[in-house]
Amino acid sequence: MTTTAPPSPVAPATRAPHYLLAVLALAMGGFSIGTTEFVTMGLIREIAGGVDVSIPSAGHVISAYALGVVVGAPVLAFFGARWPRRGLLIGLMATFGIFNALSAVATSFSWLMLARFLGGVPHGAYFGVASLVAASLAPADRKGRAVASVMLGLSVANVVGVPAATWLGQHLGWRSAYWAVAALAVITVAMIVAFVPSCPGDSEATGRRELGAFAQPQVWLTLLAGAIGFGGMFAVFSYVAPTVTEVGGLGDGAVPVFLLVFGLGMVVGTWAAGELADWSVYRSLLLGSAGMGVALVAFYLLAPTGWGLLPVAFAVTALGSVLVVNLQLRLMDVAGDAQTLGAAMNHASLNAANALGAWLGGVVIAGGYGYRAPALVGIGLSVAGFAVIVLSAALQRRTNHAPAPTR
């Protein structure tokens, strides 16, 4: 699950003859990316059988995509900040479509791992650049809404795209889900070409300015809180399909329902996060982290009840989204002028959480502890993330109360 940063203050204004269609084109890219990011979790059993590996081993496919985001987000943001933005978006989405098609035709587990890794590379940079473009197209008083509209594509993907692609994969084979995402990427490229006007890059961007964000300890603590704490949600989300069927005793048809509820939790949690942020970003971080830990305890206890797990699944993603949005706000506050890299690194951090949670969940399953064990891993990660947030708050308090240096 991923968020974008507020628009960069250097984003130039651009006129769009078809503003709503331009924003819809950008949101379509978010819909495509959100669908491919999470559909693997709903089809993990089918994928495992298709490439002849165990379910825990198939979980590494999720980690491979997340690692692609971790690697690609900062690299592409660093080198692409000066490039014309419409052309960059077209290139990112075309590449994304090609690697999803390669995922669909992968003949072995190794080739699937490589294709999923490469498919994740354009992910973070697309969201960062799309947010800047949307902000440049909007009037001054509607820039925030424009950026939110791009993110709406990701939310809708979890409510519509992921359950639909999961159903498609169950009935026509898991490869059909990746073919569907590749088709969405083609549609997105066509819409960007047709409706998004030419947008220049950031002529003032420099590598030194972007890398300056890494000189701030609070940047590292915020990234660490996301990479560890949010991994708790992915530890259970990655293996929700076998948990629902093997532990809860439900049929395969229940899996898309659970994925739909996960998506609804993200939508509601994202909305609530904005309201809570006006109250206090730090307190919202603590609330989201602690609340998700409690929800994961309930997930472990109620997993055998089948449908009784449904409201818990909603709570896990809703509270996780509160954590994610406020981590983004905190990161952009401490990143300074490095807006582009800051936005990209948020995606890198959250997908590091994706990789960590999926990997550790697979480790405990492979160790013979059962499909409930990833929830225990998630609880531990949530506690660790909570501790990092507390440490960040203590360091900030100490810095605020430090005496001013004498000249």
Output the pLDDT for position 392. Answer: 87
What is the Cα 314 distance to its own chain's centre?
A: 17
Provide the 10 A C-beta neighbour count for residue 168.
Answer: 18
Name the CATH topology of 15-205. Growth Hormone; Chain: A; (1.20.1250)
Is pLDDT of 7 > 60?
Answer: no
Within this chain, domains 15-205 and 210-401 share the same CATH topology: yes
- In 3D space, the residue among 75, 69, 80 whose CA is nearest the CA of residue 121 turns out to be 69
Output the pLDDT for position 35. Answer: 93
**How is residue 214 annotated by DSSP?**
G
Give CA separation, 196 vs 78, 89, 132, 189, 370, in Å. 23, 10, 12, 10, 49
| Separation of alpha carbons 181 and 197, rounded Å | 24
Question: ∠ CA(252), CA(258), CA(263), 5° rounding?
Answer: 140
For domain 210-401, say whether CATH 1.20.1250.20 is its number: yes
Contact 365, 371 (CB under 8 A): yes
Domain ranges in the chain?
15-205, 210-401
Output the pLDDT for position 192. Answer: 94
**In angstroms, how far is the first alpha carbon of the chain from the final one?**
47
Task: Give the residue, 216 or 191, on which the prediction is more confident.
Answer: 191
**Where are the alpha helices (H) located in 196-280, listed in sequence order?**
207-211, 217-229, 231-237, 240-242, 254-279
Output the pLDDT for position 272. Answer: 80
What pLDDT digit, counting tens, does each position of 52-110 carry? 888 888 888 888 898 888 888 788 877 776 788 889 999 999 999 999 999 999 989 99
| Separation of alpha carbons 343 and 40, rounded Å | 25
Q: Model pTM? A: 0.72
What pLDDT digit, counting tens, does each position of 112-152 carry? 999 999 999 998 888 878 877 887 887 766 665 666 677 77
3 state SS of 11: coil
What does the block give as tokens for 8?
Answer: 């960069």
| Separation of alpha carbons 291 and 299, rounded Å | 12
What pLDDT digit, counting tens, does each position of 12-21 carry? 455 656 788 9
Backbone φ and ψ for 345, nearest 5 degrees, come out as -70, -25
What pLDDT digit, counting tens, does each position of 301-314 carry? 999 998 999 999 99
Lowest mean pLDDT among 2-11, 49-58, 354-363, 394-403: 2-11
Is pLDDT of 9 > 60?
Answer: no
Q: Indicate the pLDDT class of residue 300, thresholds 50, 70 and 90.
A: very high
Q: Rounded mean pLDDT of the chain? A: 83
- In 3D space, the residue among 124, 120, 127, 125 whose CA is nearest the CA of residue 147 turns out to be 127
Contact 228, 360 (CB under 8 A): no
What does the block give as tokens for 103?
Answer: 């995922």
Output the pLDDT for position 260. Answer: 83
What does the block give as tokens for 338?
Answer: 């490095």
Output the pLDDT for position 253. Answer: 83
What pLDDT digit, counting tens, does each position of 329-371 carry? 677 677 666 666 766 677 778 878 877 888 898 899 988 888 9
Q: b/e string for 214-236 if b means 16 or more Cβ within 10 A?
A: eeeebbbbbbbbbbbbbbbbbbb
